[in-house]
Amino acid sequence: MSVIQQVTRDEWRFWHRTKLAATIIIIGTLLTLVSGVVNTLEMQHASHEREHLQQSAQAQFLEQPDRHPHRMVHYGHYVFRTPSALSIIEPGVDAFTGTSIFLEGHKQNTAMFADQRQASGMTRFSSLTPSFLLQVLVPLFIILIGYASVTREKEAGTLNIMITQGINVWHLLLGKYFALVSSGLLMLLPLIVAAVWASINGESALITSSFVAGYILYILVWCGIVLAVSAVNQKNSASFAILVSLWIVLCILLPRIGSSSAAAIAPSPSKLEADFAVKAELRKLGDGHDASDPAFEQLKKNLLTKYNVDKVEDLPINFRGTVAQYSENKLTEILNQFAEKRMQEELEQAYIARQFGWLTPTTAIRSFSMLIAGTSLETHHRFLREAEKLRFDFVQSLNKVHQDNLSYEADANRNKNADATKAARVDAANWQVLSEFSFKPDTAQTRLLRSAIYALQLLFWCGLIVLLLRFAVRRIS
């Protein structure tokens, strides 16, 4: 057995006999395991519920009786997004944004944040999810296990004996490093199991292995930090105090400073401000429910000229339906402009916050983890865009039914009496306008490309650790 293996074996023997480290390893592993299991069960339950609700929403829409087509526009429809398989470990922004949207005419009911200023806040603390445990608590467990790795040898004088016995300090540190890494990997086991489970459930093997590799790099970085600090300090107490301070700075303060800085550097309007701005623009469009609104005068003229008639009653199409189509088109353009602007602002904030990955490995793994898992802001934005396209298509299909299948006269007189109301209905067969909504995760290539820079951040941290350990070896030697 090599010296490195001997040191690793003795480190484990020490942890086993001193109980404390063994207890921390067991607690850490159990905690991530339980969190993974609970999250998986919750996700499965949510998935069943989502499937049921999706079918039920579709069936309810299709089961609607003969009625005025515009009532169906307002009846609306729900779409649900199936989260990525890896979201059992990394829920990412889904926890903040939700995974369903109610689609209806004239509105973009986004699943966006309650307050847009929170956009970059998505990189902060979250609930006790497996990813939170792995990113924030596992480093603390590694500190508790390894803060005295080298300092206890110094305090006991055994390091002196080893050095004067001619032990290679690199071998000693590597032995301790591998022991610490193996304890960290033990806490990573639930993640590895979940990744295998995700692969079985259709996730790309390249993605799941990259996901696991990212977390392994993160564990390597933290083990390196812990060992280097322990190696350059003389006392257990000093090593512990420095490491806990580092944990607070790297895992809590810097990610928070990152998101706050992002909000300060790239400010976005509050929801209220944004809503006012949208309302102001929409007012200029006119009311699409009122065909006599002056805003549609030009449309009317163009149609009368096109069909060579004098009044809207003589048009071969229902002018009210045309107005609804025209109005929805214009309104959607404006809503999309605002939505795109808002998404750009959010992305800009997220990008700034993610650059803090050069300052803290926690932000680096968080960005990498969300992007690889497909639970990032980018994926959510794509969901919003696809859902909006579906909304627009189905509303315009109903408006077309309104224009082509319902006469102007019946439509205009629909509120005169009960018979007129009945006459202003179209056949329920026209409700077959819903396209099937199936949100596919981004391809493995897209996710890998997006996350490449954050993988680079993790590698940068690994490089830094090598330098730190070299420094520690020189100090000890």
Partner 1 sequence: MQKDMIVASSLCVRFAQQTVLDKVNFNVGQGEVFALLGGNGAGKSTTLKTFLGTIAPLSGTATVMGMSVSKDIDSIRQKVAYLPESVMLYGHLTGIENIKYFLSLADIEKSAPDIEQALMRVALQKSAWCRPMSNYSKGMRQKTAIALALLREAPVLFLDEPTSGLDPNAIDEFNRLIATLAADGATVFMVTHDVYGACQVAHRIGLLDNGKIVGMFERKDQAHIDTEEVHAAFSARSQQ
Q: Near partner 1 by CB under 8 A, which window of 14-22, 52-60, 91-99, 287-295? A: 14-22
To the nearest whole angstrom, how small is the minimum distance from the Cβ of residue 164 to partner 1? 4
Identity of the residue, 1 or 280, whose beta carbon is nearer to partner 1 in the bound complex? 1
To the nearest whole angstrom, how small is the minimum distance from the Cβ of residue 476 to partner 1? 11
Identity of the residue, 5 or 82, whose beta carbon is nearer to partner 1 in the bound complex? 5
CB 153 within 8 A of CB 235: no
CB 90 within 8 A of CB 212: no
Find how far residue 242's CA is from the centre of its chain: 33
Residue 294 in the binding site for partner 1 (CB under 8 A): no
To the nearest whole angstrom, how small is the minimum distance from the Cβ of residue 160 to partner 1? 6
CA dihedral (222, 223, 229, 234) positive or negative: positive
Residue 42 in the binding site for partner 1 (CB under 8 A): no
To the nearest whole angstrom, how small is the minimum distance from the Cβ of residue 220 to partner 1? 24
Identity of the residue, 155 or 386, whose beta carbon is nearer to partner 1 in the bound complex? 155
Identity of the residue, 113 or 177, whose beta carbon is nearer to partner 1 in the bound complex? 177
Size of the site for partner 1 (CB under 8 A): 20
CB 122 within 8 A of CB 377: yes
Residue selected from 6, 64, 237, 337 as contacting partner 1 according to rule CB under 8 A: 6
Identity of the residue, 6 or 292, whose beta carbon is nearer to partner 1 in the bound complex? 6
Residue 163 in the binding site for partner 1 (CB under 8 A): yes
Residue 473 in the binding site for partner 1 (CB under 8 A): no
To the nearest whole angstrom, how small is the minimum distance from the Cβ of residue 23 to partner 1? 15
Instruction: Count how many Cα atoms sit within 13 Å of the Cα of residue 379 in the half-sphere of its side chain.
Output: 31
Residue 475 in the binding site for partner 1 (CB under 8 A): no
Q: Near partner 1 by CB under 8 A, which window of 1-9, 232-240, 312-320, 457-465? A: 1-9
Q: Near partner 1 by CB under 8 A, which window of 3-11, 238-246, 260-268, 455-463? A: 3-11
CB 77 within 8 A of CB 61: yes
Q: Which amino acid is at 300?
A: K
Identity of the residue, 65 or 157, whose beta carbon is nearer to partner 1 in the bound complex? 157
Q: 3-class DSSP state for residue 167?
A: coil
Other CB atoms within 10 A of residue 422 CB:
12
Residue 55 in the binding site for partner 1 (CB under 8 A): no
To the nearest whole angstrom, how small is the minimum distance from the Cβ of residue 171 to partner 1? 8
To the nearest whole angstrom, how small is the minimum distance from the Cβ of residue 165 to partner 1? 6
Binding flags for partner 1, 117-156, as an x/- string (CB under 8 A): ---------------------------------------x
Residue 7 in the binding site for partner 1 (CB under 8 A): yes
Residue selected from 65, 114, 165, 279 as contacting partner 1 according to rule CB under 8 A: 165
To the nearest whole angstrom, how small is the minimum distance from the Cβ of residue 12 to partner 1? 11
Identity of the residue, 1 or 418, whose beta carbon is nearer to partner 1 in the bound complex? 1
Residue selected from 85, 101, 162, 371 as contacting partner 1 according to rule CB under 8 A: 162
To the nearest whole angstrom, how small is the minimum distance from the Cβ of residue 85 to partner 1? 44
Residue 18 in the binding site for partner 1 (CB under 8 A): yes
CA dihedral 316, 320, 324, 327 (to 10 degrees): 100
CB environment 297-328: b (16+ within 10 A), e (fewer):
eebbeebbeeeeeeebeebebbbbbbbbbbbb
Q: 3-class DSSP state for residue 141?
A: helix
DSSP lists the bridge partners of residue 67 as 426
Identity of the residue, 164 or 415, whose beta carbon is nearer to partner 1 in the bound complex? 164
Q: Which amino acid is at 252?
A: I
Closest CA to 186 of 375, 29, 19, 359: 29
Identity of the residue, 165 or 308, whose beta carbon is nearer to partner 1 in the bound complex? 165
Residue selected from 37, 95, 167, 464 as contacting partner 1 according to rule CB under 8 A: 167
Residue selected from 157, 202, 294, 316 as contacting partner 1 according to rule CB under 8 A: 157
DSSP lists the bridge partners of residue 77 as 103
Nearest-angstrom CA–CA distance, 183 and 193:
16
CA dihedral (229, 235, 237, 238) positive or negative: negative
CB under 8 Å to 98, separation ≥6 — which residues? 111
CB 361 within 8 A of CB 222: yes
Other CB atoms within 10 A of residue 244 CB:
14
Residue 13 in the binding site for partner 1 (CB under 8 A): yes
CA dihedral (257, 262, 267, 273) positive or negative: negative
Q: 3-class DSSP state for residue 212?
A: helix
Nearest-angstrom CA–CA distance, 71 and 49:
27
Range list of β-strands (E), 329-392: none
Q: Which residue has the tokens 């933290």?
A: 222
To the nearest whole angstrom, how small is the minimum distance from the Cβ of residue 153 to partner 1? 9
CB under 8 Å to 404, separation ≥6 — which residues? 317, 318, 321
Q: Which residues bind partner 1 (CB under 8 A)?
A: 1, 3, 6-7, 10, 13-14, 17-18, 156-158, 160-167
